[in-house]
Amino acid sequence: MQPIEVVNIQTNDEPIRNQALEEARRQFQICNACRYCESYCSVFPALHRQRELEDSELQQLANLCHNCRACHYACQYTAPHEFAINVPAALAEVRQQVWQDNASPRWLARLFHRSGAAIAAIASLAFGLLLWLAQWQSGGDGAGFYAVLPHNVMVAVFLPAFILPLIAVAVGLRRYWQGIGGKRITLAHLRAAMGSVATMKNLAAGHGDGCNFEDEDRFSNKRRLLHQATMYGFLLCFAATSAGTIMHYLLDLPAPYSLFSVPKLLGISGGILLCIGTLGLAYLKTKADPELSAQHVWGGEMGFILLLFAVSSTGLLLYAFANSSWLPELLTLHLGTVLAFFVLLPFSKMVHGFYRMAALIRDEQTKTDG
């Protein structure tokens, strides 16, 4: 039996979704009989706990998968064998459908996953241009960045751009959680799932030596470390913004801040980690075998990575040249990338972090249920 070839998956037709699910079901029935990869990651122990491979269970397994590809290179039933097993690609197709079907509107998610790099670039430049025009209309009302763009204008623009996309993600995540039969979350479930996320345990292929993402002949922790750099870099940048907000509103200490202030120390270290992580992941993506992923969304995934790099790199440039005559242009360029990132968040691969966290929590629940 030959694997399906998914064509035109950017449409949201029911037959295409069923086709991806059926192919994943076919392959997992063979995996469940073999069980060679049982210790590789969280996917296969979870698979072996299932009695029926319902659609919801396949969606849960797909979001547990971190696409490390170790199972593929260890499998004896991959092509040219007649079973033609390709678990990473099969789960990537199902995972993509889950993210798209839970997004609102779905057509925008499909469009971004197909042409994400172009959309991210256009959105960043467009938002930057609008903010650049806004500074000439409003004028500054303070020191530092506020001398270019008033504080109230920044709040009026970025507060809804931050809150509304998060609400959209929460709505989609709730649909997913109900669909996979999620139950009440306990502290034990949350602590175990967060431990897996913090250490990127599922990118170690079960033995701690890493995965085969960019080279089938050897294991490497590069992808794991670059994911950690990206995740912790993003969290540090978020913490920097949160610290600045607290200092501004609660301590009456408005920006600008000195180099050794909490917002600056967190923001600079986070920006450096984000630059390293995103550039490294983009490089690894160009080296990986495209047949072990959802090939039709390569542009969207690369667009998301490069958008994160643009956010972090323009932020560092803004700090480095804060006292130059280029401050207005650098500020609007950086804020344009940040605004594009948040507006596009529900439709980009950023949602994979939320869904994988939910999948890990649900996995902990099934362990205790069983």
Q: What is the pLDDT of residues 142-194, one digit of tens each?
A: 566 777 778 788 888 899 999 999 999 999 999 999 999 999 999 999 999 99
Same domain, 252 and 323: yes
* Domain span including residue 43: 14-101
Neighbours of 44 (CB within 10 A): 24
Map tokens 């529900």 to a residue. Answer: 346
Task: Compute the distance between CA of residue 299 and CA of residue 347 in angstroms, rounded to an integer.
Answer: 13
Average pLDDT estimate for 196-221:
78
- pLDDT exceeds 70 at position 46: yes
Provide the domain count of the chain. 2
User: What was the pLDDT predicted at 370?
Assistant: 57
Higher pLDDT, 65 or 4: 65
Same domain, 87 and 112: no
Same domain, 111 and 95: no
* In the chain, alpha helices (H): 14-34, 43-48, 55-64, 70-74, 87-101, 106-138, 151-179, 187-199, 222-249, 262-287, 298-320, 327-344, 351-369
Q: Mean of the per-residue pLDDT values for the chain? A: 88
The residue among 196, 181, 20 whose CA lies nearest residue 98 is: 20
**In the listed set 101, 136, 156, which residue is the last one of a domain according to the structure?**
101
Who's near 90: CB < 8 A, 6+ residues apart? 3, 20, 23, 24, 27
Give the torsion sign (CA, 200, 201, 205, 208): positive
- With respect to residue 149, please indicate whether it lies within any of the assigned structural domains: yes
User: What was the pLDDT predicted at 10?
Assistant: 39
Same domain, 200 and 263: yes
Q: Measure CA 188 to chain center.
A: 24
The residue among 121, 79, 95 whose CA lies nearest residue 289 is: 79
User: What was the pLDDT predicted at 303?
Assistant: 92
- With respect to residue 336, please indicate whether it lies within any of the assigned structural domains: yes
Same domain, 57 and 123: no
Same domain, 66 and 185: no
User: What was the pLDDT predicted at 16?
Assistant: 63
- With respect to residue 317, please indicate whether it lies within any of the assigned structural domains: yes
At 95, list the tokens.
């995972």
Residue 211 DSSP class? B
Task: Compute the distance between CA of residue 287 and CA of residue 359 in angstroms, rounded to an integer.
Answer: 28
Same domain, 177 and 67: no
- With respect to residue 97, please indicate whether it lies within any of the assigned structural domains: yes
- pLDDT exceeds 90 at position 361: yes
Cβ-contact 332, 127 below 8 angstroms: no
Predicted TM-score (pTM) of the model is 0.88
Highest mean pLDDT among 6-10, 115-119, 153-157: 115-119
Give the torsion sign (CA, 370, 29, 208, 351): negative
